[in-house]
A and B are shown apart, each in its own frame.
Chain A
Amino acid sequence: MSFRQTIGTTVWAFRDLVDLMAKATPLRSGDQLAGIAARSAEESVAARMALADLPLKTFLAQPLIPYEADEVTRLILDSHQATAFAPISSLTVGEFREFLLAETTTADVLAALAPGITPEMAAAVSKIMKLQDLILVSSRCRVTTRFRNTIGLAGTLAVRLQPNHPTDDLAGISASILDGLMYGAGDATIGINPSTDNLGQLTDIHRLVDDLIQRFEIPTQSCVLGHVTSTLKLMERDVPVDLVFQSIAGTEAANAGFGINLGILKEAHEAGLALKRGTIGQNLMYFETGQGSALSANAHHGVDQQTLEARAYGVARAFDPLLVNSVVGFIGPEYLFDGKQITRAGLEDHFCGKLLGCPHGVDICYTNHAEADQDDLDGLLTLLAAAGVTFIMGVPGGDDVMLSYQSTSFHDALYVRELFGLSRAPEFEAWLQKMAVTGPDWALLPRVAQHRLMG
């Protein structure tokens, strides 16, 4: 089915829903690379106007990627809850935006709605929203998850402590973990990107962090971000695995490029649940995503990268994750060219994730081949903190010495905590006070030379 939008005497035509969604997407280099972006600024707005008049129901009747061809489409449509969708089933995309902005659309309303919203609906409405719309609606969403602490409560911001080391040196990783804990970071997870997928090396890192968590009774969870099939092997060998990690994408073919499918994720999720390592909850999956991954794997079906990214959250939410992380600036300038595109994408991703019910954090970051710098990172950090982002990264000094990119630092988290009055996961906050890292006002205490964490 084709779509038309008349503006004055010009008739803008769009081949099908896939074309309409792509043309309506605010400009980004990845869609240009795929050859699907609007060819003029006016065409893009015309597409947004046509999209605003589209009934939300259309997305149930016209899958962007055929049901028969893609297991992610099947997951999205098969798990759609018509009763949850009922309150918005008669709305157009434009009316849905207005519904979301209304003061009466509270956290409870949004939570009840989530199973009725498909990723494509979330992506569509985000395309016609301004940054302030994305921030406001996101800030109203509340998604709470638990493993050994409570992530996502109102007025909190969690931090993934990311103590990577170029060669996975255990002393080096430990030094960065201690530095992060002394800066009050690590409630989302202590999560290490290994430099390899060597099973012995992954085992050593798992044991290191598990020992640390047990020794100091830290109410947090470890994660080693190896491939999910490696983590499955580790679980079979009784290695202490808390969170199960995997990078995921929004199409079956892109996931195949990652060496996974929904069956593998299900198997890993069940294996993690069987370990029963969570103390106050069993949300144990940790997913990472990023706009452009499907195009990068030549698995995009002509669909724009932002819609595919939202479909990845459709995959994520099926596995009750503890954390979902959009690594927004990591992929490079061929997908998000500069700070402006990274900023918009970060806010879109966070909005779509929250609307779909994901515990959404953002790795606010940039690479050295993108047109971006610390000013762009500070800007997006501030906007996402205002939007109520669930967690951010804590990388020593903001410089990841293994993955070679810049992300948010322990200091950056302190900055938004002070600016917006954001505390940590309550169990972790209490532990920091017990350990005399923070005081009763959850601000850092002055440093002492012989802290017990250093013993």
Chain B
Amino acid sequence: MARPPAPDPWAALASATPARIALGRAGPGLPTRASLAFALDHARARDAVHEPLDVAALIGDIGLPVQVVASAAQDRTTYLTRPDLGRQLSPASAASLEADTPCDLVIVLADGLSARAARLQGPPVIAAILDELADFAPGPIIIATQARVALGDEIGAALKARYVAVLIGERPGLSTPDSLGIYLTRDPAIGRSDAERNCISNIHAGGLSAAQAARRLAWLMREAERRGATGVELKDESDTDQGRLTGQASGSQLLE
């Protein structure tokens, strides 16, 4: 009988990355333990995609006045197959948004593909952003369900915002089912293209912290003020010491 597969002798390297390295092998295949661990993580990520957002608990954690809106996608299956509906407000939500005066920044916290990410990372990230951007006039905080990134364009335009920051649950990965992304758009309006946004991704316990993300957002907003635009024209050349962890939304495939 064949011996069980030996671990790879460079297993110590695994502490440097969350990637699945030094797994060992059984012939060309994965050892059984690694194969089943992968299956378990996939099962969990699948479950995370379909988990609904606990809006009441989220409002409690944010601890500030918020307004809740819904996209035109009425359920999860519709959301997954009809991105166009996830980018529009439901008629009732559209009617509920109005502003008498302009504001600098509207923050939209959206479930996206991971309600868990919005629930866990949303409140501390919002607090950090408000702290970091004290010199900007904040608009309302919006919670949006069955939402895609571009829903922020309609929300921001309705609220006369100069910027909209959409905090959205990213596509769950096997190792990180709860990662949040931020998409910043200047002069939000229906029809903005993805090349007109900047993105900060991988905000979660094993990635970027809330404070780091807020600093990057502040840098991007100040730079966008200076240059008059967000998007591919705005290159992140911020200080290396602060953790250079933002980027432009370079491909629409990454936009949920």
**What residues of chain A have their CB less than 8 Å away from a CB belonging to chain B?**
29, 33, 163-169, 171-176, 178-179, 182-183, 194-201, 226-227, 229-230, 233, 247, 256-259, 290, 293, 296-297, 327, 330-334, 337, 367-369, 373-374, 395-406, 409, 411, 414-415, 417-418, 444, 447-449, 451, 454
Q: Which residues of A contact B18 (CB under 8 A)?
A: 165-166, 172, 401
Please count how many residues in chain B sit with their CB below 8 Å of the partner chain's CB atoms: 69
**What residues of chain B have their CB less than 8 Å away from a CB belonging to chain A?**
6, 8-10, 13-14, 16-23, 25, 27-30, 34, 38-39, 41-42, 45-46, 48-49, 80-84, 113, 170-176, 179, 193-195, 201-202, 206-208, 231-232, 235-238, 240, 243-248, 250-255
Closest-CB distance, A196 to chain B (whole angstroms): 4
Q: Which residues of A contact B6 (CB under 8 A)?
A: 447
CB of A404 within 8 A of CB of B179, answer: yes
CB of B19 within 8 A of CB of A414, answer: no
CB of B39 within 8 A of CB of A374, answer: yes
Closest-CB distance, B88 to chain A (whole angstroms): 13
CB of A405 within 8 A of CB of B16, answer: no
Our count of residue pairs bridging A and B at CB distance below 8 angstroms stands at: 220
CB of B253 within 8 A of CB of A330, answer: yes
CB of B176 within 8 A of CB of A401, answer: yes
Query: A293-B251, A401-B176 known; 9 other A-B pairs, CB under 8 Å?
Result: A174-B16, A175-B21, A179-B21, A195-B201, A198-B237, A198-B244, A369-B80, A403-B173, A417-B28
CB of A257 within 8 A of CB of B195, answer: yes
CB of A257 within 8 A of CB of B49, answer: no
* Bound CA span A236–B150, Å: 34
Known contacts A368-B45, A449-B9, A401 near B173 by CB under 8 Å = yes
Q: Which residues of B contact A29 (CB under 8 A)?
A: 81
Q: Which residues of B contact A330 (CB under 8 A)?
A: 253
Query: Chain A residue with minimal CB distance to B21?
Result: A179
CB of B173 within 8 A of CB of A400, answer: yes
Q: Which residues of B contact A196 (CB under 8 A)?
A: 236, 244-247
CB of A176 within 8 A of CB of B38, answer: no
Query: Chain B residue with minimal CB distance to A290?
Result: B253
CB of B20 within 8 A of CB of A369, answer: no
* Bound CA span A199–B243, Å: 13
Known contacts A166-B202, A396-B19, A227 near B250 by CB under 8 Å = yes
Q: Which residues of B contact A168 (CB under 8 A)?
A: 245
* Bound CA span A221–B235, Å: 25
Closest-CB distance, B1 to chain A (whole angstroms): 18
Q: Which residues of B contact A367 (CB under 8 A)?
A: 171
Closest-CB distance, B159 to chain A (whole angstroms): 23
Query: Chain B residue with minimal CB distance to A297?
Result: B252
